[in-house]
């Protein structure tokens, strides 16, 4: 099957764009049935609109390790009355189990 560059019209902005032979080979290899409907700029805008929101940065809380008494940062707010281990102590405890 021979592929040649084709001119297509964007459904969003109406601009003409080139559907290159290389892109056609890619579409054929992936077994896509339809030609692209949007130019690259409009497709990029649509992808941004449907993108999942970025996860918020977790706040860390400074606390004291229950085993060694050293200061450590944990990615949660400790519950009062519960002891908290630093990362090294926690990993030692989970490996020993």
Give pLDDT tens digits for 64-90.
888 888 898 888 888 887 888 888 888
The pair of structure tokens assigned to 69 is: 């008494």
Within 13 Å of residue 10, how many CA atoms lie on the same side as its CB?
16
CB atoms within 10 A of CB 49: 7
Question: Facing residues of 61 across strands?
Answer: 74
| Cβ partners under 8 Å of residue 40, min gap 6 | 17
- What pTM does this model have? 0.50
pLDDT tens for each residue of 5-57: 999 999 999 999 999 999 999 999 999 999 999 999 999 998 877 877 777 77
d(CA 84, CA 97): 17
Contact between 44 and 51 under an 8 Å Cβ cutoff? The reply is no
């Amino acid at each position: 099957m021979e592929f040649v560059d084709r001119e297509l019209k964007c459904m969003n902005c109406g601009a003409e764009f080139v559907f290159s032979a290389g892109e056609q080979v890619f579409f054929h290899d992936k077994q896509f049935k339809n030609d692209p409907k949007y130019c690259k700029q409009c497709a990029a805008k649509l992808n941004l609109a449907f993108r999942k929101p970025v996860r918020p940065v977790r706040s860390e809380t400074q606390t004291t390790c229950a085993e060694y008494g050293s200061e450590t940062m944990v990615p949660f707010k400790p519950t009062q009355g519960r002891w908290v281990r630093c990362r090294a102590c926690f990993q030692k405890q989970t490996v020993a189990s």
